[in-house]
Structure 1
Amino acid sequence: MHLLIINGSPRKSGATAKILTYIHEKLCTMDSELEITHIDLSNYNLKLCVGCMGCYKTGYCFIQDDGVERLRSLIDQCDGLILGSPTYTSNVSGYLKILMDRGYFIFEQLLRNKPCFSVITYENAGGKKAQKILNEFIHYSGGSVSGHYRKKLNHGSEVLNKATEKTIDRKCAQYLVRAKRTMSLSVLEIVMRAIVFHVGLRRHAMKNPVRYKAVIDRWNNKGYTQTR
């Protein structure tokens, strides 16, 4: 099983990064056969989405020099995804938001059937809302929220302690169990995905099949239009 961890914080040694690193190490001790790739989005000079919608027609973004297409390919190929972000104005970080915008996750159902784990850190308020946004993004992209962790921290305070590690250990164990199931989605998630895909995305795309050619081709190749 190949898991991909993405740190959406601009800080490589901040609270979010430390928690993701701990999760990485803990998962490796729980299952030595796991292959885990760990990425810091701050290593990339990510460019903003310009809203041209060309990716829906061609299957790729015309911006080819900032690594987003490579990241998207890694996400498409991984078996599970762990996304982490600090809270910015009750939302995810700018780095992660750019990836969410540029990766055309939702229409292409890039996370379909993938077990995902969301991690949010915050200092004052808005952490719960930020995690809700991230979890909804996972669901709308076809994935399962198989684990989640949210931590309130004062700036510069200790990130990991025995109580925190115990909670993360438990959540990592639960995530691995769910990730290894043949179907990681719950019944509610399956129903939600069917509504999002068949009522929302598919109906909209079929009104303009030329504009959404690459999206429709992917759905057909993956068999998404034949399944719930």
Structure 2
Amino acid sequence: MFSIIALFLYWLDDEKNVIEKEDITLHLLIINGSPRKSGATAKILTYIHEKLCTMDSELEITHIDLSNYNLKLCVGCMGCYKTGYCFIQDDGVERLRSLIDQCDGLILGSPTYTSNVSGYLKILMDRGYFIFEQLLRNKPCFSVITYENAGGKKAQKILNEFIHYSGGSVSGHYRKKLNHGSEVLNKATEKTIDRKCAQYLVRAKRTMSLSVLEIVMRAIVFHVGLRRHAMKNPVRYKAVIDRWNNKGYTQTR
């Protein structure tokens, strides 16, 4: 029975075939969610940046430290769902959201705080209205988590689920346990990251970066969860529904 439902949802999804990306320049966005610009997470993300550039000199990569922004907390007004923008306009979140929307692939990194992502990254996740607008739709994403004691696996699960719920594909992930102040990069670490970067780049250039399972998951999240909920109150979710229609997300066979 589950197989039948999965096949139906796979058929229902209208975006199994997306633009061929082999012959175009990929624009990747790297976001460091750590408050430390030279910490473990930052060093790993910088290494990934440099490695990807050596693997493909045609890549265009933008690298951002969230600690450069005075991010303000979400107040839960839900105005973004109706208007399509956050009323807080002076802290750079709307610019970050625009960069994420325009990029071809996203690499997110965070240290582990209380078995979760950092406060900086959590604010961006809350303020960016990623999930309802499906901001990561069809985007190949790479999650990086560092941790010292415990909780790293849970933090990565949270970040990966966020990517999936936002319509993206977890096309790569890396998790590293480190003692504070210890060596971040060594030959073994670099070898592992090199392999994961190569895999990510291949997946990012595929015609469709999402797996069948991810397509089914996205269909469930979108059609069963988000769409049904928004259609109950179309006035409140006007901007969200408009985006879905403009992007063709609501089209079914």
TM-score, structure 2 as length reference: 0.90
What is the CA–CA distance in structure 2 between the aligned matches of 1:227 and 1:71, rounded to whole Å? 31
Following superposition, the deviation at residue 192 of structure 1 comes to 0.0
Question: Which residue number corresponds to residue 82 of structure 1?
Answer: 107
CA distance in 1, matches of 2:153, 2:110: 12
Whole-Å separation in 2 of the counterparts to 1:78 and 1:226: 23
User: Whole-Å Cα distance in 2 between the matches of residues 189 and 217 of structure 1?
Assistant: 24
CA distance in 2, matches of 1:17, 1:225: 38
Paired with 2:170 and 2:237, the residues of 1 have a C-alpha distance of 27
Q: C-alpha offsets along residues 136-192 of structure 1, whole Å, 9 cap, x if unaligned? A: 000000000000000000000000000000000000000000000011000000000
Name the CA distance, whole Å, in 1 between partners of 2:113 and 2:101.
27
**Rounded Cα–Cα distance in structure 1 between residues aligned with 2:194 and 2:63:** 18
Q: How many residues end up aligned between the 2 structures?
A: 228
Task: State the SS of the aligned residue for 2:175.
Answer: strand
Bigger radius of gyration: 2
Q: Which structure has more RCO (C-alpha within 8 Å, separation ≥ 6)?
A: 2
Cα distance, 1:227 vs. partner? Answer: 4.9
Residue 124 of structure 1: CA displacement? Answer: 0.2
Q: Distance in 1 between matches of 2:173 and 2:73?
A: 27
Find the aligned partners of 1:146 and 1:20 in 2 and give their Cα distance: 16
Deviations 1:84-128 (A, max 9, x none): 000000000000000000000000000000000000000000000
Distance in 2 of aligned mates of 1:75 and 1:165: 27
Match of 1:150 in 2: 175
How many angstroms apart in 1 are the aligned matches of 2:119 and 2:179?
21
Shift of 1:130: 0.0
Instruction: Describe the shift of the 1:19–1:227 C-alpha distance in structure 2 as closer, same or farther (beyond 3 A).
Output: farther
> How far 1:46 moved relative to its partner?
0.1
Unaligned runs of 5+ in 2: 1-25
Aligned to 1:32, the other structure's residue is in SS state coil
2: CA distance between counterparts of 1:181 and 1:200? 28
Equivalent residue number for residue 224 of structure 1? 249
What per-residue deviation string (whole Å, max 9, x for no partner) do you get for residues 23-60 of structure 1? Answer: 00000000000000000000000000000000000000
After superposition, the Cα gap between the structure-2 partners of 1:36 and 1:51, relative to the gap in structure 1 and judged at 3 Å, is same
Q: 1:203 Cα shift?
A: 0.1
Using a 3 Å threshold, how does the CA distance of structure 1 residues 28 and 221 change in structure 2: closer, same or farther?
same
Q: Which residue of 1 aligns with 2:160?
A: 135
For structure 1, which runs of at least 5 residues remain unmatched after alignment? Answer: none
SS at match of 1:38: strand
Measured after TM superposition, the shift of residue 11 of structure 1 is 0.1
**CA RMSD, Structure 1 to Structure 2 (Å):** 0.7
| Counterpart-to-counterpart distance in 2, 1:226 and 1:22 | 40
Q: 2:78 & 2:245 partners in 1: Cα distance?
A: 20
SS at match of 2:229: helix
Identity over the aligned pairs, expressed in percent? Answer: 100
Find the counterpart in structure 2 of residue 164 from structure 1.
189
Query: Which of 66, 70, 83 in structure 2 is aligned with 1:45?
Result: 70
Deviation at 1:81, TM superposition (A): 0.0
Q: Distance in 2 between matches of 1:92 and 1:182?
A: 31
TM-score by length of 1: 0.99
